[in-house]
Amino acid sequence: MKIDKLRHDLLVLLSAKSLASINEGNKDIFVERSRIIEFLGNDGKRWPLILSELLEADEIKVYNTNGQNGFFSTDLGNMAYSNKKYLLRHQNLMINRAKNFMQIAIPLLSFMITVCIGNV
C-alpha cells in the first residue's frame, strides 16, 4: 500500500525539522498539523491512518502547547527514517505482489499456449 511510502515521506519531513532545530540550536522541533495535512496532499483525509502506526510505535509524538499543535520525530522515528523501515516494507509489498501475479500468470499462459498448440 501507498501508506507505508507516505509514512516514510512524513518521517523525512519530521526528521529534517528535528535535525534542523538541533543544528540551529533552537527548540522549534515540531511540524504543525496543518502543514502535515498539506504535505500529504490528496491523502490528507487519511492522515489519522498514516499517523496511527507512527504514534503507536513512539516514532513520533504529539506536540500541543499554547494553542499550537503538531507532531515531532523521536529518536525511534529518526532511526526508522535512517533505516528506511517503511520504505523497505513498501518495496517488499510491491515485490510480493509481483511474485504472486507471476505465480498465477505463468501457469495460465503456459496452459493457454498448450491448448492453442494442441488444437493445431
Q: What angle do CA 39, 43, 44 make, to 5 degrees?
A: 60
Q: How many domains does the chain have?
A: 1
Say which residue the cell 500529504 belongs to.
40
Residues of the chain with pLDDT under 50: none
Domain holding 83: CATH number? 1.10.10.10
Q: With beta carbons less than 8 A apart as the criterion, state whether 13 and 39 touch.
A: yes
How many other C-beta atoms lie within 10 A of the C-beta of residue 103? 9
pLDDT in tens, 48-77: 888 889 999 999 999 888 878 889 999 999
Three-state DSSP class for 106?
A: helix
Range of the domain at 33: 2-118
Q: Residue type at 3?
A: I
